[in-house]
């Protein structure tokens, strides 16, 4: 149950809806800005979960004539929108907290808030772990963004519960808005990290260095005195959602046959795709131009100039 990307996103929608109702009820009854901040955080998470749910469904559509590279970047757009929403929510929480400090607002019925915050932390712990597990398995940036939201909620809900307990024991009401500001700072950090991961693929940034190195190693295994290839260059990579795109130019000995080049390209494509999930590999073959300083191929020497 909830093992697919779409169903996992649906689970997040259900859990966030329940927690929003509980947190808003406790926040209104107690007058606690830290609980209301958590309710806003969960409302933001609900919007993010809905965005993730629909973006995952759209991103999973196969390539078509209008989108020959598929729809994977919809997930990156989703993650970027979620990050913007998080920034806005954090700013609102800080505004409300400062207002409470200025007006010296008091809180009451704290045990209700403490109990709901504890329940929230436990629910989000299990849901976030499940979302991140599915996101890692399916390489889904939208689902990972949602899972990270809920992971932060675990710590913020537990922190708010602990803070409210301190307020109950000490009577220091000012701790409530201070805790809310601390929650907002954690939310801002999460938004920054999510932006760094979701936005770069939208401008076709290359794959991480370790993934590009895997591609290079696959090719280098077939270069040398006993290898079929002379070298490679113009390696270009990018990512769209969970899909990876790899392009390179493979230099072959000029006396090689088309069949040899074809068989080597098939082998390299399979090798690269076995190491990088959801990879699409395009290889352009070109003959050695005899201009290298130290040729490792078996090309015959170039004809003499007339």
Residues 101-127 have pLDDT tens digits of: 787 766 667 788 788 888 888 888 888
What pLDDT shows up at residue 4?
A: 75
pTM score over 0.85: no
- Residue 65: the pLDDT is 65
What are the C-alpha distances in Å from 168 to residues 109, 162, 171, 230? 9, 10, 6, 74
Residue 67 pLDDT level (bands cut at 50, 70, 90) = low
Does residue 294 carry a pLDDT above 80? no
Query: What does the pLDDT look like over 241-278, one tens digit per residue?
Result: 677 889 999 988 877 788 888 888 898 988 898 888 88
Region 88-96 average pLDDT: 77
For the cut 70, the answer to whether the pLDDT of residue 204 exceeds it is no
pLDDT of 224 > 60? The answer is yes
Which residues of the chain form CATH 1.20.1510.10? 5-201
Q: What pLDDT is attached to residue 2?
A: 66
Q: Which two tokens stand for residue 241?
A: 């959602």
- Structure-block tokens of residue 235: 């390696």
The answer for residues whose C-beta is within 8 angstroms of residue 18's C-beta and 6 or more apart is 123
The pLDDT > 90 percentage for the chain reads 3
What confidence category does residue 29 fall into, taking pLDDT thresholds of 50, 70 and 90? confident
Confidence band, pLDDT 50/70/90 cuts, at residue 291: low
Q: Report helix angle 209-220 to 258-275, nearest 10.
A: 150
Instruction: Quickly state the pLDDT bin for 131 (edges 50, 70, 90).
Output: confident
More confident residue, 305 or 96: 96
- pLDDT-based confidence at residue 290 (cuts at 50, 70, 90): low
Domain made up of 5-201: CATH architecture: Up-down Bundle (1.20)
Sequence ranges of the chain with CATH classification 3.30.70.1350 = 209-287
> For residue 49, is pLDDT > 60?
yes
Q: What is the pLDDT of residue 228?
A: 75
Instruction: Examine the pLDDT at 285 and tell me if it is beyond 80.
Output: yes
Residue 213 has pLDDT above 80, yes or no: yes
List C-alpha distances in Å: 285 to 11, 111, 207, 259, 273: 47, 70, 22, 12, 18
Q: Name which residue leads in pLDDT, 306 or 139.
A: 139
Residue given tokens 């989108």 in the structure block: 67
The pLDDT of residue 304 is above 60: no
Instruction: Give the contacts of 24 (CB within 8 A, at least 6 positions apart).
Output: 36, 39
Q: Give the pLDDT of residue 71.
A: 58
Top CATH class of 209-287 equals alpha beta
For the chain, the average pLDDT equals 77
In this prediction, residues 185-189 reach a mean pLDDT of 79
Q: Quote the tokens at residue 48.
A: 């993010």
Better pLDDT: 52 or 249: 249
pLDDT at 13: 79
Taking residues 216-245, report their average pLDDT: 81
């Amino acid at each position: 149950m909830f093992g697919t990307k779409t169903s996992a996103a649906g689970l997040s929608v259900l859990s966030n809806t329940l927690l929003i109702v509980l947190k808003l009820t406790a926040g209104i009854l107690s007058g606690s800005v830290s609980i209301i901040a958590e309710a806003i955080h969960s409302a933001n998470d609900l919007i993010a979960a809905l965005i993730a749910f629909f973006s995952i469904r759209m991103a999973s559509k196969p390539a078509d004539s209008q989108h020959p590279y598929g729809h994977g970047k919809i997930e990156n757009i989703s993650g970027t929108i979620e990050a913007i929403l998080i920034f806005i929510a954090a700013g609102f929480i800080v505004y409300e907290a400062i207002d409470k400090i200025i007006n010296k607002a008091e809180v009451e019925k704290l045990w209700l808030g403490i109990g709901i915050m504890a329940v929230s932390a436990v629910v989000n712990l299990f849901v976030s772990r499940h979302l991140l597990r599915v996101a890692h398995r399916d390489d889904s940036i939208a689902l990972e963004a949602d899972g990270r939201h809920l992971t932060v909620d675990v710590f913020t809900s537990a922190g708010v519960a602990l803070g409210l307990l301190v307020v109950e024991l000490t009577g220091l009401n000012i701790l409530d808005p201070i805790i809310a500001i601390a929650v907002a700072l954690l939310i801002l950090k999460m938004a920054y990290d999510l932006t760094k991961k979701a936005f770069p693929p939208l401008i076709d940034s290359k794959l991480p260095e370790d993934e590009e190195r895997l591609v290079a190693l696959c090719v280098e295994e077939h270069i040398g005195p006993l290898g079929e290839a002379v070298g490679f260059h113009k390696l270009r990579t990018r990512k769209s959602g969970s899909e990876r795109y790899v392009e390179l130019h493979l230099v072959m000995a000029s006396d090689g046959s088309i069949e040899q080049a074809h068989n080597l390209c098939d082998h390299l494509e399979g090798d690269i795709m076995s190491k990088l999930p959801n990879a699409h590999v395009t290889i352009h073959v070109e003959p050695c131009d005899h201009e290298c300083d130290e040729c490792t191929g078996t090309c015959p020497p170039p004809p003499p100039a007339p």
